[in-house]
Amino acid sequence: MGSMFSRRFIFLAGLLVTLNVALWFAAPGLALRKAIIAQLFGPKMIRAVVYDKPGVQWNLDRGVITQVSSTQLTLHEFDGRIQPIPLASTTEVFRFGRSLPLDVLAKRWHVVVTWPATGPAQSVDVEQIPPRR
């Protein structure tokens, strides 16, 4: 009887140690993917071109607004590139998760714009509004 108890205890202890080791190494591996995504699309990103499965090209541009109208936004990106981006009435503007009207966009605002290569901007995420002079 003692031999059977000992075998079960050793088996259970081995199983728990194996599970503990697997979870110990799995957590950093999962965090690594999040860290890579945060680094690629985080505050150091200037521009990105992303293709989804159907083959649609999406552009992400980060920069400072130099000109804005109801139909176009012009960004000065941090590497010196000037990027005109078409706007539409369906373009959504966000700041801290809140929706803003399109006509509030102004010069010197720091934004990230998501837009398809063949159409107007889908969203404008406002990162920073400079203080008024």
Cβ contact 107:68 at 8 Å: yes
Residue-wise pLDDT for 99-118, tens only, equals 999 999 999 999 999 999 99
Report pTM: 0.71
What distance in Å separates the CA atoms of residue 91 and residue 116, rounded to the nearest whole number? Answer: 12
Cβ contact 94:109 at 8 Å: no
Task: Write down the mean pLDDT value for the chain.
Answer: 85
Is the predicted pLDDT of residue 8 greater than 90, yes or no? no
What distance in Å separates the CA atoms of residue 130 and residue 44, rounded to the nearest whole number? Answer: 19
In the chain, the DSSP E strands lie at 47-51, 57-68, 72-77, 82-86, 92-95, 98-100, 110-116, 123-128
Residue-wise pLDDT for 15-28, tens only, equals 778 877 776 666 55
